[in-house]
Amino acid sequence: MKTQIEQNGIVTLTEEEAKRLNGSELWNDDLRPTTFKEHSWKGLNFAALWIGMCLCIPSYTMASGMIALGMNWWQAVGTIFLGNVIVLIPILLNSHAGTKFGIPYPVFARLWFGDKGAHIPALARAIVAAGWFGINTWIGTGAIDTLLAASFSAWRNLPGHTAIVFVFFWALNVGVAYKGPEAIKRLSFIAAPVVGISSIILLVWAFTHSGGWGPILEQPSKFKTTGEFLKVFFPALTGVIGFWATLALNIPDFCRYAKSQKSQMVAQSFSLPITMTVFSFIGIAVTSATVVIFGQAIWDPVQLLAKFPPFVILLGAIVIVISSLTINIGANIVAPARAVENLYPKRITFGIGVLITGLFAILLQPWYIMSNFGNYIFGWLGTYAALLGPIDGIAIADYWLVRRKQLDLKELYEPNGRYNYATGFNKNGIYALVIGVVIPVLGLLIPGLRFLWDNAWTFGLFIAIGVYTYLMKGDKSVLREGEYEKITIIENTTYDVKRNLIETELTK
């Protein structure tokens, strides 16, 4: 029986099958596959999404941490560019699955871990997202607090004023997040041009008021040998990769709405690495100029904002708030909310998932993570990259190497289906995850193997790919030859239209 339709590379369930699965405990309106009509995001939407998410304060300050550790400006910018090109590869590979089958990340994870085991990678991603949610909320809090302190002298003396702002801004983020992915689509179109134009204005201001680019762009590297440089380069590169290793996993949450594979691939390929690299350079250039203008290097844009008149602070705070909202909703709310929702689809809503994410973000203490660059690059980015690398590897291996882009869509929503793996857990996925995490961790325990930890994401990813692919050989969950064609109605609208036009011309 045919249960799914493939049209121009996009697969959906038949109406009959969708109605039948509506009563499944693994199905709800947020987790179900998207319909053909819902595949409405064009390349411009994905470009706006990435530009909006990249133009955030952590991106602005990322290079500053590397310069503080001894790099010169072009070494820092080069590291950021390379890291984003590398992480773009798993992003595009996992985007294909979301676009083709219209499934969100927690459902995609059922393929590799089983319907119960999927909670492991989903919640791992959720914890990281909650941390980022807190970080960006804390950054937005600083901007608003600076505005109020500059505008009202009494505000600075009010006990707990920063905490008050944090609570209100946290509530704003949670409230907007209830709107879901479509809100991101609209917000990105606003944020991308507003934050982008503001960044250019800031760069022009810095150049004209400093009479040039300032001393930081002339500052040489502190490393005397290649070996000294590489000791910092590799963990910094891992940190850059880790910055978007989160989205490399749950990118299906957005690509499930893509109009076509080509549109999302082209848009993401250009917008992510270019935006991150250019914005990081702006951060370096502006900070370099502050040495000339103010006599000190001001890496934090919120602290730089405090140097301006109240009206400029107001405009700057609005831009930072928009930026923080965009990345929080786009990168840090959807994944954990979906993960929590997936725990009990029939009872837990997306809104409840958003609220739980917000509360957990507070428990992770974002003010401590951002207290110094060591916590940020080596502690936060490096540690979760070691966890997410193997999960990325398992996702890529399962979809591309084990199943070769073919799956039975309805079985992802069957409690006792082929992706249940009898117990609800795919032990092969768990084994691959454990091995992919443990081997890099040895680099923390054995000094001679430190290179494993410094490149934890990369080693974890390739180890997990190899282990998972080997363990899944001949697995019963994999469709046999010809089985995909038996369950799929394959239509090619573009081909059919061209064929009809040719036949019409030949009969004239």
Secondary structure, 3-state, 37-100: CCCCECHHHHHHHHHHHHCCHHHHHHHHHHHHCCCCHHHHHHHHHHHHHHHHHHHHHHHHHHHH
pLDDT at position 65 is 79
Q: Which of 146, 184, 191, 190 is nearest to 165 (CA)?
A: 146
491's enclosing H/E stretch is strand 488-491
What's the number of CA atoms in the CB half-sphere (13 Å) around residue 191?
A: 28
Between CA 16 and CA 18 the distance in angstroms is 6
Residue 219 and residue 284 in contact, taking contact as beta carbons nearer than 8 Å: no
The rounded distance, in Å, linking the Cα atoms of 103 and 240 is 27
Place of tokens 């791992």: 124
pLDDT, tens digit (0-9, with 9 covering 90-100), for 486-501:
999 998 755 454 445 4
Please tell me the CATH superfamily of domain 4-382, with its number.
Hydantoin permease (1.10.4160.10)
CA–CA gap between residue 256 and residue 258 (Å, rounded): 6
Helix 350-363 vs helix 119-151: angle between axes, to the nearest 10 degrees?
Answer: 70
Instruction: Convert the pLDDT of each residue in 321-374 to its tens digit.
Output: 888 788 777 778 877 888 888 888 888 888 888 888 888 888 877 777 666 555
* Residue 10 three-state SS: strand
Q: What is the pTM of this model?
A: 0.86
**What Cα–Cα distance (Å) separates residue 421 from each residue in 110, 114, 411?**
10, 6, 11
What 3-state class would DSSP assign to 508? coil
How far is Cα 505 from Cα 215, in angstroms, rounded to an integer? 69
The full 3-state SS of 311-376, as one line of letters, equals HHHHHHHHHHHHHHHHHHHHHHCHHHHHHHHHHCCCCCCHHHHHHHHHHHHHHCCHHHHCCCHHHH
Those residues whose C-beta lies under 8 Å from the C-beta of residue 233, and which sit 6 or more positions away, are 71, 75, 79
pLDDT under 50: residue ranges of the chain: 377, 495, 497-499, 501-503, 506
SS3 16: helix
Q: Residue 114, SS3?
A: helix
Neighbours of 73 (CB within 10 A): 22
- Report which residue type is found at 311: F
| Rg from Cα positions in the chain | 24
Q: Do residues 392 and 245 make contact, with C-beta atoms less than 8 angstroms apart?
A: yes
Residues in the chain: 508
Encode burial over 140-154: b for 16+ CB neighbours within 10 A, e otherwise.
bbbbbbbbbbbeeee
How many helices, marked H, and strands, marked E, lie in the chain?
A: 24, 3
